[in-house]
């Protein structure tokens, strides 16, 4: 196609040849580079963006034909900005277009009601990637990680909606998520848009790379599955034991804090009133499919440090032995930390009460 420079022919009578030549020379140097980058970014992959480019080109030709003098700095800046906007939109479309389609499809299929959490995450990750591309469209290193995250979130949304509209119709979002993660572990579903197709068409020389990607994908799927399990456990503790226990998450660990076992002062014997709490907590931990649980004993700062350490060890071991006595299937250890890790001010009665606690630390499953 003819260049813009060639199409900017003079239309006004009496123009001086030198001025026309200056105009033609300035335009390509200041504007056409921005236009070239927009096209290079894949602009013609979108009919809408192609039409927008054509309109902008027409506008530039019109402005150039009106004036015999060089375009003003303000006009030049405006056209450069508009071509840059087209470049950004082209990169966003190439990197995120398929994910945008998945989100729009899900919204049209009532994802706001069927899978609100998964939809919210997908939209948030999409917007983050979109904004990073806008900041630096020509440097993929600045946004590739976020694009990959948007990919995974969009794929999860697509898979969850497929479940809720298919064999899991009528189920909750959490059930659909669990089913998706199970199928991913079996290799029936990928966690990335296009991954399965890519794997099927890979050549022998690419198999090593594909295997590495699948290992990473399995790790991400497991992390996501742990997220669902942790959230379910947290909801259960908060619903049934708001007074007796609290629950927190620290990275890939879930901490169930037993606030009211009510050990007698200086004693490590578990009162019978605490048995129902411990039994239920053991069930919740068992459902997390973990391989590692640590019972931590903690005291306030009253008394001698050495004595507190011994007492906390005895109390942690008492809880461990109780769990073992009711037949838990996970490995469990115990340790006392005495007064070393307070969570409140030991100078107040309430603070000391909070520091006298037993923490059940659950490690996320890694296999």
pTM, two decimal places: 0.48
pLDDT tens track for 187-245: 777 778 865 444 334 333 444 444 454 444 444 544 556 667 777 777 777 777 777 88
Cα angle vertex 187, ends 184, 189, to 5°? 50
- The per-residue pLDDT for 237 is 79
Predicted confidence band at 30 (pLDDT cuts at 50, 70, 90)? Answer: low
Decide if pLDDT at 157 tops 90. Answer: yes
DSSP string, 10-61: --STT--HHHHHHHHHHHIIIIIHHHHHHHHTTGGG-HHHHHHHHHHHHHHH
Contact 236, 256 (CB under 8 A): no
- The percentage of the chain sitting over the pLDDT mark of 90, rounded to a whole number, equals 25
pLDDT tens track for 99-138: 999 999 999 999 999 999 999 999 998 999 889 898 888 8
Decide if pLDDT at 9 tops 80. Answer: no
Q: Where are the alpha helices (DSSP H) in the chain?
A: 4-7, 17-27, 33-40, 47-66, 73-108, 111-114, 116-135, 144-164, 173-185, 195-200, 207-240, 275-287, 305-325, 349-355
Higher pLDDT residue, 139 or 250?
A: 139
- Three-class secondary structure of residue 295 per DSSP: strand
- CA-to-CA distance for 137 and 118, rounded, in angstroms? 27
- CA-to-CA distance for 270 and 262, rounded, in angstroms? 8
Closest CA to 55 of 41, 42, 43: 43
Predicted confidence band at 356 (pLDDT cuts at 50, 70, 90)? Answer: confident
Q: Which domains does the chain have, with CATH numbers?
A: 1-150 (no CATH), 243-363 (3.30.1330.60)
- The per-residue pLDDT for 138 is 86
């Amino acid at each position: 196609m003819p260049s813009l420079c060639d199409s900017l022919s003079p239309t006004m009578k009496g123009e001086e040849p030198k001025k026309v030549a200056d105009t033609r020379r300035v335009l390509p140097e200041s504007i056409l580079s921005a236009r070239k980058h927009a096209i290079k970014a894949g602009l013609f992959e979108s009919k809408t963006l192609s039409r927008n480019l054509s309109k902008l080109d027409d506008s530039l030709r019109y402005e150039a034909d009106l004036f015999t003098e060089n375009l003003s700095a303000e006009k030049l800046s405006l056209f450069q900005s508009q071509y840059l906007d087209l470049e950004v939109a082209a990169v966003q479309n190439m990197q995120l277009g398929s994910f945008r389609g998945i989100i729009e499809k899900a919204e049209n299929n009532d994802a706001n009601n069927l899978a609100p959490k998964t939809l919210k995450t997908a939209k948030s990750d999409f917007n983050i990637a979109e904004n990073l591309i806008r900041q630096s469209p020509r440097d993929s290193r600045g946004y590739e990680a976020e694009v990959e995250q948007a990919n995974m979130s969009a794929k999860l949304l697509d898979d969850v909606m497929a479940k809720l509209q298919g064999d899991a119709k009528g189920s909750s979002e959490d059930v659909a998520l669990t089913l998706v993660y199970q199928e991913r572990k079996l290799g029936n579903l990928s966690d990335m848009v296009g991954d399965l197709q890519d794997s099927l068409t890979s050549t022998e020389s690419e198999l090593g790379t594909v295997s590495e990607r699948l290992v990473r994908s399995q790790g991400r799927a497991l992390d996501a599955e742990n997220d669902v399990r942790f959230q379910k456990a947290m909801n259960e503790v908060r619903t049934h034991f708001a007074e007796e226990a609290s629950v927190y998450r620290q990275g890939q660990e879930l901490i169930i804090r037993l606030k009211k076992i009510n050990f007698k002062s200086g004693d490590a014997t578990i009162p019978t009133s605490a048995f129902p709490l411990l039994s239920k907590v053991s069930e919740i931990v068992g459902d997390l499919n973990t391989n590692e649980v640590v019972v931590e004993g903690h005291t306030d700062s009253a008394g001698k440090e050495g004595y507190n350490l011994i007492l906390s060890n005895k109390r942690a071991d008492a809880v461990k032995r109780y769990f073992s006595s009711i037949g838990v299937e996970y490995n469990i250890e115990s340790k006392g930390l005495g007064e070393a890790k307070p969570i409140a001010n030991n100078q107040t009665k309430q603070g000391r009460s909070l520091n006298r606690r037993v923490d059940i630390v659950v490690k996320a499953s890694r296999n």
